[in-house]
Structure 1
Amino acid sequence: MCIPALSRCATRYVLGVALSLGLAACSTPPVASNNTPLPLAQAIEAAADSLALQAQQSSGLLGRLNRRTAVLDPTLDASSGQQTAATQQLDRALSERLGREGGPLEVVPFETAHLARATLLLTGTLTRAQGNFALNLALVDVKAGTVLAQSSAIVRREGVDMNPLPYYRDSPVLVKDKVVDGYVRTSTTPAGQKADAAYLERIAAATVINDATTLYNAARYREALGQYRSALATPAGDQIRALNGVYISAVKLGLTAEAEEAFGRLVAYGIAYNSLGMKFLFNPGSTEFWSDPKVSGAYGMWLRQIARQAGATKVCMDIVGHTSATGSEAANDPLSLRRANFIKQRLNAESPEVARRTRTLGMGARQNIVGTGSDDVVDAPDRRVEFTIVDCAK
């Protein structure tokens, strides 16, 4: 016991803790080399350990004595904005690695109640890079709006499952807007710099959207629809993920009128932000829509709403056809143009006035988002037809 000299004992204790923490901070965790691809599990460990070390070093002595709460905003495929089987694996591994006993962080799920008490926000992305994947993580100081720590690793492509979760598989559009883009930018922002403002401003609504998406992925469509409606009713809830969620939930529930109304709002949102990437699927090598009516049955309504919304706003558009990486450039370029022309013909049937304000382009596979050439649900965003708003004078 040290009661007679309590103050000296306490001093020695604090100095001892400080020394041990200082030594821990000096030890170097396994950090991946920028050019050394690692299996996904090892890459996550390396990037997570680097992030934790930076967080410890930046928090000072008192911060090191107390665990800080970090809420994990589910990680994304940076190219498509989708959550996939691999990003789910990343979420689980980050929670376990960063939140393990004795670590500096308590990692909690992305929920409204947790966001209210958390001081830190954790983001992360996977994106294809030179035949492999780049993993990026960021830890954001919520109050300051500043990136506290950032780490990266290269992931071997083998065994990385980028199959999208049901919400993204069922989406008619490429689910990217300024909020999703802001999340992606934040994940690569160096420590000490500001996180993306558009992303942080809408973070509260994003927790409601995430709850709804979890319900949708669990096939609880009626509950999901209620949550998406709740998100849209908030000032920060006007996001493509919420509008898309109302549409696909209404489709699952057979609410035809609400589904079409929601799709019209989705198109109007895309026009307002100058780009709308539609996942029209075609039979291989042709300009015919996919033969399965479960896939292509709604395409007539989609085109009707695109014509209606474009007509109301008097915009001019480029209709840009894309193909997957399968096949040669000599075949893909004309095929993508023929598909764009086919969409223009269908728009002309809905509204000749709108069709006159469009031109068609074929990009082949040059603007692939996914790039696997697998011709399945994974690279569906590559086989899109994109509507880009352009200056009518040009």
Structure 2
Amino acid sequence: MNIFRNFQGLLVLICCGLACSAAQAQTSPTAPPAAAPPPAPVAFDAALLKAANDLFSKANLESAPDKVTLVIDPLIDGVTGAQSSATHLEEKRVVELIKSNYPRFQVARFSSETVAKSPVVLIGTFTAINNAGVAGGARDAYRICLALADLKSKTIISKGVARALPEGIDPTPVAFFADSPIFAKDVSTDAYIKSCQGSKVGDTIDQAYADRILVASLVNDGIEAYDAGRYRDALDVYQSALKTPGGEQLRVLNGIYLANYRLRRTKPAMEAFGKLIDYGLKSDRLAVKFLFKPGSTQFNTDPSVRAPYSVWLEKIAERTAANKGCLEVVGHTSATGLAPINDRLSGLRADYIKDRLEDEDRSLRGRLIAAGKGSREMIVGTGRDDASDALDRRVEFKVVKCST
């Protein structure tokens, strides 16, 4: 009897084991599906045509009038926020496409008058990326993002995306952005980029973008005047924008400095530069475009790129001392050349700027530290080593806690 009971128990254990194994086999998680391969980049013209046709052909216009007023808030680089030769070409091609294929859209000038009528706004970003999504990988493609924002319904009503090959693309910033000395985190630009890249059809327009679109139209007037060499007009527009709610932003402050500098109004220009420094330091991070001779710690002396670096350094030292702050001075390079050499060169350039600041104001001694990051923190990352990626060869000032 005991043998029989033991045998029954053994059968139960065996059956339980088989059942458990079967159940585990049924409930075991299956391997996740393989990630879809990244879209293949195509030639710029074809990529832009695809994105734009998707944008306009799929736009939700159910409650819209027969003729839809469209304004273009100038397209920008998706990282730096700069307008470039490439983004201007995009706009030109898009307008041509609208006129030939989508006559329901009536393109109007991006101005405070048209914005007040709550039109549909076209926004877009053009961003250098690694097509396979490899962090730190070569930026071998450009991502095109286009979106239509309806200011009446306050929603995103259409989007179009594509990827372009880099051949034939000129990402050189237009004059205003190429000349701007300061790069810092900016709520207005971040809101624009988020409204395109971080949205889907049906989403509410980013509130920070909506709140600042009137200022954006004024900024556009100022940039157009500056790029055309009408510096007095540009200054008037920027000063007006500064007085508008949401007007204290990087493009406005850069514009006031640049216009004054071009008009040879030295004192107002330096006062404006001081406000730029304060603006950047409030965000704890400020990048200044100091251009050096290749492989050197000496400033570039080419008259076409020469800027008043000595005066900039004097103002940075003055504002830092006035704020009783401490800074980490960080040098950066593009990826050209060997990494160890870039690390050393960026460190030497940071040391040079640190020493110059301490010479300007002795109270900064002991409150500044220097570091070199080589090419590990590139912003643009295309490796062109020209005006298009000047920000990769920047010196940054980071607010740090004072040791005493």
TM-score (norm 2): 0.84
User: CA separation of 1:124/1:206 partners in 2, compared to 1, >3 Å: closer, same or farther?
Assistant: same
Residue 140 of structure 1 corresponds to which residue in structure 2? Answer: 149
Match of 1:96 in 2: 96
Residue 338 of structure 1 pairs with residue 348 of structure 2:
yes
Residue in 1 aligned with 2:13?
none
Counterpart in the other structure of 1:211: 221
Cα distance in 2 for residues equivalent to 1:247 and 1:85: 23
Q: Does 1:123 align with 2:123?
A: yes
2:169 equivalent to 1:165: no
Q: SS in structure 1 opposite 2:182?
A: coil
C-alpha contact 2:56 2:102 (8 A) present in aligned 1: no
Give, in angstroms, the shift of residue 194 of structure 1.
3.0
| Alignment match of 2:161 (pick from 118, 142, 152) | 152
Q: Does 1:180 align with 2:189?
A: yes
Conservation of the 8 A alpha-carbon contact between 2:128 and 2:382: no
| Number of the residue aligned with 2:292 | 282
Relative to structure 1, the CA distance from residue 268 to residue 72 in structure 2 (aligned partners, 3 Å threshold; closer, same or farther) is same
1: CA distance between counterparts of 2:343 and 2:274?
30
CA contact (8 A) 1:280 1:299 kept: yes
| Aligned pair partner of 1:231 in 214, 237, 241 | 241
CA contact (8 A) 1:81 1:176 kept: no
| Deviations, residues 46-78 of structure 1 (Å, cap 9, x unaligned) | 1111111331xx332x43x62322211000111
Deviation at residue 257 of structure 1 after TM alignment: 0.7
**How many Å apart are 1:294 and its aligned residue?**
6.0
Matched with 1:262 is 272
Deviation by residue 1:233-261 (Cα, 9 ceiling, x = unmatched): 22221111111111111111111111101
TM-score, structure 1 normalization: 0.86
Distance in 1 separating the partners of 2:185 and 2:88: 19
For 2:378, the equivalent position in structure 1 comes to 368
User: Residues 67 and 337 (structure 1 numbering): CA distance in 2 closer, same or farther, change over 3 Å?
Assistant: same
1:299 lines up with 2:309 in the alignment: yes
Partner of 1:4: none
Q: Give the length in aligned residue pairs.
A: 358
Residues 146 and 194 in structure 1, CA contact (< 8 A), matched pair in contact too: yes
Query: Contact 1:80 / 1:176 at 8 angstroms: preserved in 2?
Result: no
Alignment of 1:371-390 (within 5 A): 371-390=381-400
- Does the residue aligned with 1:133 lie in a helix, a strand or coil? strand
C-alpha contact 1:82 1:175 (8 A) present in aligned 2 = no
Instruction: Tell me how far apart the structure 1 counterparts of residues 103 and 38 of structure 2 sit (CA, whole Å).
Output: 25
- Equivalent position to 1:52, from 56, 65, 69: 56
Q: Whole-Å Cα distance in 2 between the matches of residues 360 and 273 of structure 1?
A: 19
2:106 is aligned to 106
Aligned residue for 1:195? 205
Q: Secondary structure at the match of 2:260?
A: helix
Q: CA deviation at 1:176?
A: 5.1
Counterpart Cα distance in 2 of 1:217 and 1:271: 28
Distance 2:142 2:223 in 1: 25
Task: Answer whether contact 1:71 1:118 (CA < 8 A) is retained.
Answer: no
**Separation in 2, partners of 1:375, 1:389:** 28
Query: Per-residue deviation at 1:117?
Result: 1.7
Task: Supply the AA of the counterpart residue of 1:310.
Answer: T
Q: Is 2:147–2:160's contact at 8 Å kept on the other side of the alignment?
A: yes
Q: Which residue of 2 aligns with 1:329?
A: 339
1:312 aligns with 2:322: yes
Name the CA shift for 1:51/1:337 in 2 (closer, same or farther; >3 Å): same
Structure 1 residue matching 2:45: 3-state secondary structure = helix
Q: CA deviation at 1:338?
A: 0.9
Counterpart in 2 of 1:8?
A: none
Change (3 A) 1:330 1:54: same
8 Å CA contact 2:285–2:397 kept in 1: the answer is yes
| 1:382 positional shift | 0.8
CA separation in 2, counterparts of 1:202 and 1:214?
18
Runs of 5+ unmatched residues, structure 1: 1-32
Q: Tell me how far apart the structure 2 counterparts of residues 175 and 111 of structure 1 sit (CA, whole Å).
A: 26
Q: State whether residues 337 and 363 of structure 1, in contact with CA within 8 Å, keep that contact through their aligned partners in structure 2.
A: yes
**C-alpha deviation, 1:297, in angstroms:** 4.8
Q: Given the superposition, is the C-alpha separation of residues 298 and 369 from structure 1 closer, same or farther in structure 2, using an over 3 Å criterion?
A: same
Separation in structure 1 between the aligned mates of residue 377 and residue 307 of structure 2, nearest angstrom: 27
Which residue of 2 is the match for residue 20 of structure 1? none
What are structure 2's unaligned runs of at least 5 residues? 1-36, 131-139
Alpha-carbon RMSD across the aligned residues, in angstroms, is 2.0
Deviations, residues 321-360 of structure 1 (Å, cap 9, x unaligned): 1001210101001111111111110111122333422222
